[in-house]
């Protein structure tokens, strides 16, 4: 491993009680994102016809459905303060990146054109968004300002990129690459300082339940005390004893 680049280690998980869960009565849930600032989880739920976006606040115990129409909406991600949500919508007939307030208001399309744009994620400052776009003909990492300005491709990988996530405190990028072998790739926010890791970095075991995060494991760091995952039809947020549990992203000096 190259000194100065982020590394990944796996340690057996031990959860604390109580585990907080949301029972959606058998409806499929996926792609949860937990906001520590507001104690709220946002996730995608299948209503029988389309994927919609919902939130659940653990302080009040109340939930809210933010989208409710005849197209798919998915991959929601909070900004650090929990006031904004970036997500993918197929309203224009193909996947595009949208932004909205945490209550579902002010829905705004950030990417235009006929290309596919997916897997959005805010940087720790909430000022930039990383996402995957096939604008160049292959799926690569792009970044833009939080208002959609200054869209720029920053990766040029041999294999296509499936998903990307900003580390929640450092601004490193973590992404899942497809191709000859599926692997985790890390880089600095400008696309430099690339490191590659094998697929076993994605295999997360929590108790007796095996959970696959890919890059959606949210790059846990010592400042994040809770994690989100999907287990069947239940979207769950678990407190962990130490951030070494599950997957910890470490930064070597």
Report, as ranges of residue numbers, the positions in the chain whose pLDDT lies below 50: 1-18, 199-253
Residue 182's pLDDT is 62
Going from the C-alpha of 11 to that of each of 2, 8, 82, 245, the distances in angstroms are 21, 10, 29, 5
Q: Which pLDDT score, from 0 to 100, does residue 131 have?
A: 95
pLDDT on residue 79: 94
CATH number 3.20.20.70 is the correct assignment for the domain at 6-251: no
- DSSP per-residue string spanning the chain: --TTSEEEEEE---BPSPPEEEE-TT--EEEEEEETTTTEEEEEEE-SSSEEEEEEETTTTEEEE---SSS-EEEEEE-TTSSEEEEEE-TTSS-EEEEEETTS-S-EE---SSS-EEEEEE-TTSSEEEEEE-TTSS-EEEEEETTS-S-EE----SS-EEEEEE-TTT--EEEEE-SSS-EEEEE-TTS-S-EEE-GGGGEEEETTEEEE-GGGG----TT--EEEEEETTEEEEEEBSSTTSEEEEEE--
Give the closest residue to 246 by CA, choosing from 217, 204, 216, 211. 204
**Exposure letters 74-113 (e unless 16+ CB within 10 A, then b):** bbbbbbbebebbbbbbebeeebbbbbbebebeebeebbee
Radius of gyration of the chain measured on its C-alpha atoms = 17
Provide the whole-model pTM.
0.74
pLDDT at 163: 82
pLDDT at 84: 98
Report pLDDT for 37. 86
| Cα(237)–Cα(79) distance, integer angstroms | 18
Residue 226 CA to residue 154 CA, distance in Å, equals 30
Q: CB neighbours of 171 closer than 8 A, spacing ≥ 6?
A: 123, 124, 125, 188, 189
Domains of the chain by residue range: 6-251
């Amino acid at each position: 491993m190259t000194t100065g680049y982020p590394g990944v280690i796996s340690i057996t998980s031990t959860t604390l009680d109580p585990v907080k869960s949301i029972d959606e009565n058998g409806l499929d849930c996926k792609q949860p994102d937990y906001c520590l600032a507001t104690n709220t989880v946002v996730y995608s739920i299948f209503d029988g016809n389309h994927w919609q976006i919902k939130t659940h606040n653990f302080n009040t115990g109340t939930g809210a459905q933010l989208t409710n129409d005849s197209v798919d909406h998915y991959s929601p991600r909070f900004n650090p303060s929990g006031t904004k949500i970036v997500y993918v919508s197929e309203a224009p007939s193909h996947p595009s990146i949208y932004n909205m307030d945490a209550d579902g208001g002010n829905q705004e399309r950030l990417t235009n054109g006929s290309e596919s744009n997916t897997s959005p994620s805010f940087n720790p400052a909430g000022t930039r968004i990383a996402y995957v776009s096939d604008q160049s003909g292959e799926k690569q990492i792009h970044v833009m300002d939080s208002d959609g300005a200054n869209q720029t491709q920053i990766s040029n990988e041999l294999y296509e990129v499936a998903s990307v996530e900003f580390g929640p405190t450092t601004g490193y990028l973590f992404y899942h690459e497809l191709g000859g072998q599926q692997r985790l790739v890390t880089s600095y926010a400008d696309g430099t300082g690339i490191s590659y890791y094998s697929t076993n970095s994605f295999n997360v075991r929590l108790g007796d339940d095996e959970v696959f995060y890919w890059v959606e494991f949210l790059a846990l760091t010592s400042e994040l005390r809770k994690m989100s995952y999907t287990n069947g039809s239940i979207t769950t947020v678990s407190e962990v004893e130490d951030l070494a549990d599950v997957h910890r992203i470490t930064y070597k000096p």
